Amino acid sequence: MEKRKMEKLGVETSLLGFGCMRFPVTKDGKINEAEAERLLDKAYAAGVNYYDTAYPYHGGESERVVGRVMKKYDRGSFYLATKLPCWEVKTLEDVDRLFQEQLDKLQTEYIDFYLMHALNRDRFREMTEMGCVKRLEELQAEGRIRHLGFSFHDNYEAFENILNSRDWDFCQIQLNYMDAKEQAGIKGYELAAEKKVPLVIMEPVKGGSLAAFPQDITEMYHSLNPSASMASFALRWVGSLPGVKVVLSGMSTMEQVEDNLKTFGTFTPLSDREKETIDKVVALINSRVQNGCTGCGYCMPCPAGVEIPRNFRIWNTYHMYRNYDMVKGEWEKHMGEEHKAKNCIKCGKCEKVCPQKLSIRDDLEKVQADLDRKEFILS
C-alpha cells in the first residue's frame, strides 16, 4: 500500500483513504453492516489506515458502524477522521456535546483527524466569533483531538482566507481533473503545498462521474491500458500531486475496494502520455457544453416558476458526460415538475436581462426534449 508522510505532523498515512459516506445499504436504506464490515476489513488487511466519516453520513449511522467495526483493531494501527457539523452549532456548548457524541459512537477516547465540516467564508466567521475554533484548540491541547483541520466548499479567495487564518494541521478539499478550477481547486492545492499543510482530497472521481464514460472516451483510456478502470485514472491524477497525502474514495462494493487497492497497492504516477490523454478528455467533455449559462441568476425569478439556471446545469452535465444516470436523481426526484423547462411560457423576460445573451426560450425547449428522450444511458 502506497504511504505518504505528513512531515508537519510526523505521521504516515495510506494514500488511499476509506470514505465512509457511501457504505452499501439495504432495501430500506439502512447500512448493510455485514457487507460494510467486509469492505472495511478488506481495506484494513491491505494496509489502508485512514478512515473518514462525519456526523451526518448515512443519517448519523456511519460513525456508529465505523466505531463498532474498527474497535476490534489496535487503536494505534489506524487513523480516524470525523467532522464537527458546524451547522448544528448554535452555542459554544454544542461543540462539546457533539464532540462527545461522536467519541461515543466511534468508541474511542480521541480523534486523530478532526475537521470543521464544510467551511465557507460565512460559516468560518460565525464559528470564529462564537469561539468554536478556540474551543477545538483546547480539546486538542487536552489530547482528545490529535490533528485539527477543516473541509472546504467555497471559492479560492475564501479558502485562502481560512488557510491563512491560523496554523492548520491539515485540510481537505474537493479536487479532480474536471474541477481543477472549481472551489479551492489546483490553486488551493498549490497554496497548501507552499505552506506545507498536508492535503486530504475528496471527490477525486467527482461522485462517480469520472468512473464511467461513453465509448469514445472509454476507448481513449483503453488505448493507454485496456485493463485499467476509468476511476483509476482519476485517482492517479490526484495521487500524482506530491502535496496530496490522502485520496478519499467512498467505496460501496467489494469490486470498488479491490480496484482501488490495485491502484494504490503499487501506485504509479501518471506518465506524460497519460496526462496528455486526460487533458484531451477534459477538452472533449467541456466541448459538449450546450450553452454558456454561468448560473448568475439574473434570469430569476421566472414568472412561470422555471428554475432556469438549474435546468441548464442539469442539461449541460447530461451532455458533457453523456450519461443520464448522472442527472437522473436530480431531474426525476429532486427538482419538482413545476420547476422544469416544460413550464416556460415564452414571455422573454429572462432573455432581456441575461448577461450572456442566451436564447433561453429555445434552449429550455431543448432541455425538456433531451431529458425526456434520455438518449445517453450508460448502465
Q: Name the DSSP class of 165.
A: T
What stretches of 199-247 show up as alpha helix (H) in DSSP?
215-222, 230-239
pLDDT at 90: 95
Report how far residue 176's alpha carbon sits from residue 157's, in angstroms, rounded to the nearest whole number.
19
The pTM assigned to this predicted structure is 0.90
Task: Read off the amino acid at residue 25.
Answer: V
- The grid cell for 159 is 479558502
Report how far residue 205's alpha carbon sits from residue 208's, in angstroms, rounded to the nearest whole number.
5
Report how far residue 137's alpha carbon sits from residue 125's, in angstroms, rounded to the nearest whole number.
16
Q: In this model, does residue 166 exceed pLDDT 90?
A: yes
pLDDT in tens, 319-335: 999 989 989 999 999 99
pLDDT at 379: 54
Longest dimension (CA), the chain: 66
Q: In this model, does residue 378 exceed pLDDT 70?
A: no
Q: State the CB neighbour count (10 A cutoff) for residue 280.
A: 12
Q: In this model, does residue 28 exceed pLDDT 60?
A: yes
pLDDT at 375: 85
Task: Read off the amino acid at residue 179.
Answer: D
Q: How confident is the model at residue 214 (pLDDT cuts 50, 70, 90)?
A: confident
pLDDT at 48: 98
pLDDT in tens, 51-103: 999 999 999 999 999 999 999 999 999 999 999 999 999 999 999 999 999 99
